[in-house]
Chains A and B, each alone.
Chain A
């Protein structure tokens, strides 16, 4: 077992094989691996911010600990009776403002780049229901007016096969092509839901009577897992989302099969 691990680590290290993590793992505290430029941007932004946060955390902790150590009744028998200092208060107000304004710049840049819609080639509609998602691929109509329209339900625990994720697998995945601009229109048929997939860096509320648009540009093939992210009733935790990204040819095959099967 140990030798297998060593080989895997060796292969990963030298780029022969990369295993991406597109679903949550036990006790996970970090991100899942990004599959879209948006998620890469989010992770980079997070790491940039953490740099500032660590600096601030260490600095504030150092000041607090020094204050506790040097200024107490044992060390200072005579209390110092001043309660404010204008200069220090100005400094500790203006410097945080400048830090916040500095980190706001990349934050807004990322935010607006996420909202940007590049002319999409595919539109997928995700409609939230109590409690399942249904998907519509209305770009394609068969010769007799067939449309692609299906529901996506969770696979119950007792039906899971070896290797499948508990509470994350669905019976009908949505299939999208890789390296293609995809528009997802999220809405709901009853209460507010939220369509979210961490690896793709998307989380979009589905609101009845309203259509929200997000864009996907998936850079690699894979199966991406997500969950409803807006409390929508008792089975809120049991309507997962599975996105399967495939090459364009396979996508077209799948569409053909769906339309004419």
Chain B
């Protein structure tokens, strides 16, 4: 019997989490390979690319779900996430968000490169000759307010969790997720009525790549917050131990800040 329990943290003589063998890292890398191979094939017009791209993406999502399910089990049921392990997770999330910031910087770079000295093909003006753009004071400004408000509600949820007020935490998280869905819906509406498209020039390319990547991050952040809501509902998030929620909140604030930069530079400054 003691043998069975040997990997439980309470029997360990160190604070570290030595992970068990798992198929998910292998599955994840394999699915990323298929996903990328499919994407590149698709972009080059190969017939099989379309299928491989979606197939790889599905396997990747499934692998992520089961892998992170295992992480939650290790944390909540096995108690592997000691204070020291949580510190490591903090560093990990910070570095992850930093890498995301650098990713966004590269796309902002493309935007500023093209908009600060527009080529002769664009009429040497930005927005390019003949492109009609969104009024930043309408839906984009509404979206800014929605995201800022969701930043407030996620902080409300954080304080509620710290003070052990589960009901208010659930309420605030539900508000946050509803605001996030509202944001995504409004972006979807804007994309539908956009008078330019991804492939009709540098304006559409930079616009849809920057806002599209941000929209993708909003969706991921919404799912992250949704997982936290489910875990809070299931009494898994406590006043003492809630790093999963904190990581989701950091991520959400990061998405929020990226939107502010997007709004100010792409929608507002880029439309003057």
Contacts and interface: CB of A to CB of B under 8 A. Distances in A.
| A and B found bound together | yes
A153 B246 CA distance: 65
- Which 4 A-B pairs give the minimum distances between C-beta atoms? A209-B119, A209-B120, A209-B121, A210-B119
Interface in B86-121: 119-121
A209 B120 CA distance: 7
Interface string A203-219: 00000011000000000
Contacts of A210: 119
Interface of A: 209-210
Dominant secondary structure of chain A at its interface with chain B: loop
Nearest to A209: B119
A189 to B, nearest CB: 14
Interface of B: 119-121
A209 B114 CA distance: 12
A118 B242 CA distance: 68
A210 B119 CA distance: 8
Nearest to B120: A209
Nearest to B117: A210
A40 to B, nearest CB: 32
Contacts of A209: 119-121
4 contacts: A209-B119, A209-B120, A209-B121, A210-B119
Contacts of B121: 209
A228 to B, nearest CB: 23
B115 to A, nearest CB: 15
Contacts of B119: 209-210
A61 B177 CA distance: 64
Nearest to B121: A209
B174 to A, nearest CB: 51
A210 B116 CA distance: 14
Nearest to A208: B119
Contacts of B120: 209
Nearest to B119: A209
A188 B10 CA distance: 69
A106 B217 CA distance: 49
B119 to A, nearest CB: 5
A88 B106 CA distance: 41
B190 to A, nearest CB: 30
A175 B88 CA distance: 67
A210 B114 CA distance: 12
A210 B120 CA distance: 8
A209 B248 CA distance: 44
B128 to A, nearest CB: 13
A209 B119 CA distance: 7
Nearest to A211: B120
A74 B119 CA distance: 68
B164 to A, nearest CB: 48
A32 to B, nearest CB: 34
A189 B193 CA distance: 37
A210 B121 CA distance: 11
A17 to B, nearest CB: 50
A209 B121 CA distance: 8
A209 B123 CA distance: 12
A206 to B, nearest CB: 15
B117 to A, nearest CB: 8
B9 to A, nearest CB: 39
A209 B124 CA distance: 11
B36 to A, nearest CB: 26
A142 B78 CA distance: 89
A231 to B, nearest CB: 20
B270 to A, nearest CB: 20
A85 to B, nearest CB: 33
B180 to A, nearest CB: 40
A211 to B, nearest CB: 9
B67 to A, nearest CB: 43
B247 to A, nearest CB: 38
A1 B120 CA distance: 61
A205 B170 CA distance: 59
